[in-house]
Amino acid sequence: MSQSPQHVHAATATPSGFFRRYVFSTDHKTIGLQYYFLALAAVTVGIVLSLLMRFHLAWPGAHLPFVSGGIMRPEQYLALMTMHGTIMVFFVLTTAPMGAFGNYFLPIQIGAPDMAFPRLNMLSFWFTLLAFACMLSAFAVPGGAPISGWTAYPPLSGMGSITGPGEGMGQTMWVVSIGIFCIASLFASINFITTTIEMRAPGMSLTRMPLTVWAWFVTAVMSLLSFGVLLAALVMLVLDRSAGTSFFTPAGLVVNGELQMGRSGGWPLLWEHLFWFFGHPEVYIAILPGMGVTSHVISNFSRKPVFGYRAMAATLCAIGFLGFLLWGHHMFVSGMNPYSSLAFSALTLSIGVPSAVKTFNWLGTMWGGRIHFDTPMLFSIGFVSFFVTGGLSGIFLAQPSLDNMLHSTYYVVAHFHLVMGVAAIFGIFSATYFWFPKMFGRMMNEPLGKMHFWLTFVGAYCIFMPMHFEGIYGGIRRYADLSGDTYLAALRPMHEFMTVAAFATAAAQLIFFYNFFRSLSRGTKAAENPWRATTLEWATASPPPVDNFGGTFPQVYRGPYEYSVPGAAEDFTPQHVRPEDVVMETGSHA
């Protein structure tokens, strides 16, 4: 296929100097890579923390040389749990899909030379890095890391060190870190929304945008509306902790046998409402980009257009809208009015409709296609598997009567790890393997990639599927030591199995790290369009120049998934190729 004429503009010069080019860069691609490597560092920390927790749950009496006193105390376990959850949710599942891949590819996929506000984009990354540094510093301050969980429920989190170890300076660093992260996310959201609306290339209508762009756009809107609420709640929490206010602290509270004076009128459930008004959209902030990547990759490796493109875009918007109406299902055990519980239950079940549409459309895209089981495709299929498995357990938790029994058990741990954690991670892996040649100009090793997929896929199910049965049995989450109770002690063999699976799955990630870093310098040079894809990121060099298209603006002539067009000589028709330049099977032009 010959290339179409493109609108020409002056090419942007590459910034000179190491710091200007790689550190304080305003190039969205460099910023995307900065986010990516930050997420890699964060996920490494998160994995280590989770392995320490799992080891303690399986062998609670084991002596650990790096733990004060040799045996992990309950407050140390709770600190690990708090930091693991916080780091994974904010600095991995939010940072990688949106900050890394969204920053790198959204402008290229819509034909823009950069983000709308490059300096704001740079600032959002540095705020995120500062937030991560503040979070890690909680380990080093007097009292150590907080023990209030990633949800930081008051009054435990709102009264200072009197409520327990880590609730002094450690909790303060947690609050400051998440506050800074909220500001960074608001900066990024404004940038993503403006770029998508105002900077699309000629011909790039909304119905010609790739589903990845739709996913990033809806995610940005959700971030803008939800992180502001969390930031306001954090300000109130800081005032409760340091200024003597009582937004969340009630009167008559007794802590460690002492009546807390000077507090009145606070309502702890206010924090829960504000937090979960952010927290449930956060689930979709983590998962929607993975949905976009999965749609993108499945279409490419099935060599078929996305089944029901408009429905797929509409369901992204529907999930984004409904995600703001469901926060109460996290609070069924809080004593809310049964009629409120009924409303939240019905709304929670309703979000299964657009989710089911997406799942069936993914299956419809693969049905009858010429499927290529390359590594990106395997991870996208894995995403669908974990999303469906985790979503099915959510149906039970949407029933208030069942949730009252299961809420404090490992059933909930299994549910949200599968649907929010593992599924989103598989989306990140799929995007990494798919776009690695575009970002670095080289291919990742395919056999190593497939080995990484199968070990991770089987390992993740071995870790989290038994948790469903443990939850039904009555296994309580957040307990640091199960050996002190007879019925919980019976679950120890199951914990030992899950712990061995966790260590094996973590070891499998070493394959990914080896493959990734080795391929940066020694991977096979990538072809111009190795996946024979149709969207605009494959219409430019790999890696792309500073302004993405080397002094031109591409013209878009068709939708993003024109695969196996009847009569065409090739099984893909890129968006930027003019209709008259499309070669037909007869050798003529369309």
Where does the pLDDT of residue 9 fall: very low under 50, low under 70, confident under 90, or very high at 90 and above?
low
Q: What CATH number should be reported for the domain holding residue 565?
A: 1.20.210.10
CA distance 499 to 28: 40
Q: Is the peptide bond before 281 cis (omega within 30 degrees of 0)?
A: no
Give the span between the Cα atoms of 590 and 587, in whole angstroms: 10
The rounded distance, in Å, linking the Cα atoms of 465 and 468 is 6
Domain assignment present for residue 259? The answer is no
Determine, yes or no, domain membership for 186. yes
Phi (first) and psi of residue 278, to 5 degrees: -85, -40
451 in any annotated domain: yes
55 domain residue, yes or no = yes
Average pLDDT over the chain reads 93
Total structural domains in the chain?
1
- Confidence check: pLDDT of 537 > 60: yes
CB-count exposure of residue 225 (10 Å: 0-12, 13-18, 19+): middle
Does pLDDT of 68 surpass 80? no
Q: What is the mean pLDDT of residues 168-180?
A: 97
Largest CA distance in the chain: 88
- pLDDT tens for 128-153 read 999 999 999 999 999 999 999 999 99
Model pLDDT, residue 256: 83
Least confident of 2-16, 370-384, 408-422, 457-471: 2-16
Cβ proximity of 63 and 71 under 8 Å: yes
Going by pLDDT thresholds of 50, 70 and 90, the confidence category of residue 219 is very high
286 close to 226: Cβ distance less than 8 angstroms: no
d(CA 501, CA 483): 21
Summarised one tens digit per residue, pLDDT across range 472-483 is 999 999 999 888
pLDDT tops 90 at residue 272? yes
Query: Which residue from 248, 335, 239, 320 is spatially nearest to 285, judged by alpha carbons?
Result: 320
* pLDDT greater than 50 at residue 330: yes
Q: Is the pLDDT of residue 265 over 90?
A: no
Rounded to an integer, the average pLDDT of 144-172 is 94
pLDDT band at 465 (very low <50, low <70, confident <90, very high): very high
As a whole number of Å, the CA-based R_g of the chain is 25
- pLDDT above 90 coverage of the chain, percent: 84
Count of Cβ atoms closer than 10 Å to residue 277 Cβ: 21
Helices (H), 398-552: 400-406, 410-416, 423-440, 446-473, 486-489, 492-522
Confidence band of 404 (pLDDT split at 50, 70, 90): very high
Task: Over range 238-263, report the average pLDDT.
Answer: 88
pTM above 0.85, yes or no: yes
Domain contains 99: yes
Residue tagged 């307990």 (tokens):
479
> Residue 82 is part of which domain span?
24-248+264-481+489-581
Q: Is 244 exposed, middle or buried (0-12, 13-18, 19+ CB in 10 A)?
A: exposed
pLDDT tens-digit profile of 299-322? 999 999 999 999 999 999 999 999
Q: What does the alpha-carbon distance between residue 319 and residue 321 come to, in Å, rounded to a whole number?
A: 5
Q: Encoding tokens for residue 225?
A: 């509306």
* Per-residue model confidence (pLDDT) at position 12: 58
CA distance 168 to 157: 9
pLDDT of residue 2: 46
Is residue 365 a part of any domain in this protein?
A: yes
What's the pLDDT score for residue 6? Answer: 53
pLDDT of residue 472: 95
- Is residue 155 in a domain? yes
Calculate mean pLDDT across residues 515-538.
96
Identify whether 430 is part of a domain: yes
pLDDT of 71 over the 90 cut: no
